[in-house]
Amino acid sequence: MGSVVLSLDAELGWGFHDLPEPPTDRVESGRRGWTAMLELLEEFDIPATWAVVGHLMLESCDGVHADHPAPDGWFDRERGEWQDREDLRFGRGLVRDLLESDVDHEFASHTFSHVLFGRPETDRELAVAELERSAAIAEEWGCSFESFIYPRNDVGHRDVLAEHGVSAYRGWTPNREGVRAVFDSMVRDRSLLVEPFVDEYGLVNVPASLFLFGFEGPARSVAESIWEDPMVALARCGIDEATTSDGTFHMWLHPNNLTTERDDRRMRAILSYLDRRRSDSDLVVETMADVARRIRCSRGVDGEPTRIDAQAKASWN
């Protein structure tokens, strides 16, 4: 029997602040997508790993962050163009909604300010600062994180993660993405399952299987006009595979991928199918922390649960 994991990169404006021309539809959809995903996951009672950018949990900031060892200009956009866009820079209400959800979600980290860890200019000092700042803010909220998702899946400084108590991260997908993923799975009958493993730093790598919004633009419209949403078909294949064989089907997305109701429909179709297969088989839905614990236990390494507990919940009120 296999399992299904769903992870989300929750970032609002931070996913785009370093881009010369941030995509407006995505930037403006971060809040609606966050709420839509929380509601859908509640409707189907599906726990997910939410990797949150730490800055969103701040009450306010000076836009300078002089004590943070980021390169010059890293915080320019929040000081400039987005100075009056607190809705893109902060998200305390949304994080509270996540933590207070009836579903047993996993709170995870997506860095403090969306620094790309794999870049050569991201030195160890910056990686440490991003992790320590995220951990300190989480602690102020009465929580901690066990899983980490690299911005743009740019894996790097894994030793720093291991030293800061992280136990799992999302690794690169071994599969091709977008249209090629549809081709590989549907035509070439290639597996969408991944095998999480303990890497050389003692971290559990939970590789991605499928980015749920890797098939967009005109090709999506054409495909949907003659057929069903190909990404829904692909996700169903992965879910079906996980019900019949060992291995993990790991889907991921950003809340800001839900830019229109058409995107909400995609997620509803996938989640309702997952819910159905879970109830008519032994399939389990896991968070990344669940996977890490399972893998470590099977190797005889202790894994402590870090679910959002009742005591922490009480302290936010």
Total number of residues that touch Zn ion (CB under 5 A): 5
Task: Give, as ranges, the residues between 61 and 90 that touch Zn ion (CB under 5 A).
Answer: 61
Is 130 among the residues that bind Zn ion (CB under 5 A)?
no
Is 303 among the residues that bind Zn ion (CB under 5 A)?
no
Give start and end residues of each alpha helix (H) in 102-188.
124-140, 158-163, 179-182
Shortest reach from residue 310's CB to Zn ion, in Å = 30
Shortest reach from residue 60's CB to Zn ion, in Å = 8
Shortest reach from residue 63's CB to Zn ion, in Å = 5
For residue 19, count other CB atoms closer than 10 A to its CB. 10
What is the C-alpha to C-alpha distance for residues 199 and 32, in angstroms, rounded to an integer?
36
Q: Which is nearer to Zn ion, 72 or 280 (CB)?
A: 72
Q: Which is nearer to Zn ion, 110 or 266 (CB)?
A: 110
What is the C-alpha to C-alpha distance for residues 158 and 177, in angstroms, rounded to an integer?
24
Interface residue with Zn ion, options 2, 15, 47, 214 (CB under 5 A): 15
Shortest reach from residue 11's CB to Zn ion, in Å = 5
Segment interacting with Zn ion, rule: CB under 5 A, options 54-62, 137-145, 259-267, 291-299 = 54-62
Residue closest to Zn ion (Cβ): 61
Which of 254, 248, 213 lies closest to 234, judged by CA?
213
Please list the residues that pair with 107 across neighbouring strands: 50
What is the C-alpha to C-alpha distance for residues 17 and 118, in angstroms, rounded to an integer?
18
What is the C-alpha to C-alpha distance for residues 96 and 237, in angstroms, rounded to an integer?
34
What is the C-alpha to C-alpha distance for residues 36 and 21, in angstroms, rounded to an integer?
26
Interface residue with Zn ion, options 151, 196, 214, 247 (CB under 5 A): 151
Shortest reach from residue 209's CB to Zn ion, in Å = 18
Q: What are the backbone dihedrals phi and psi of residue 220, each rounded to the nearest 5 degrees, phi first?
A: -65, -45
Only one residue has tokens 């299904």, namely 4
Shortest reach from residue 256's CB to Zn ion, in Å = 9
Only one residue has tokens 């949403």, namely 229
Binding string, residues 173-212; x marks residues near Zn ion by CB under 5 A: ----------------------------------------
Is 9 among the residues that bind Zn ion (CB under 5 A)?
yes
Helical packing angle, 217-226 and 230-244, nearest 10°? 80
Point out which residues bind Zn ion (CB under 5 A): 9, 11, 15, 61, 151
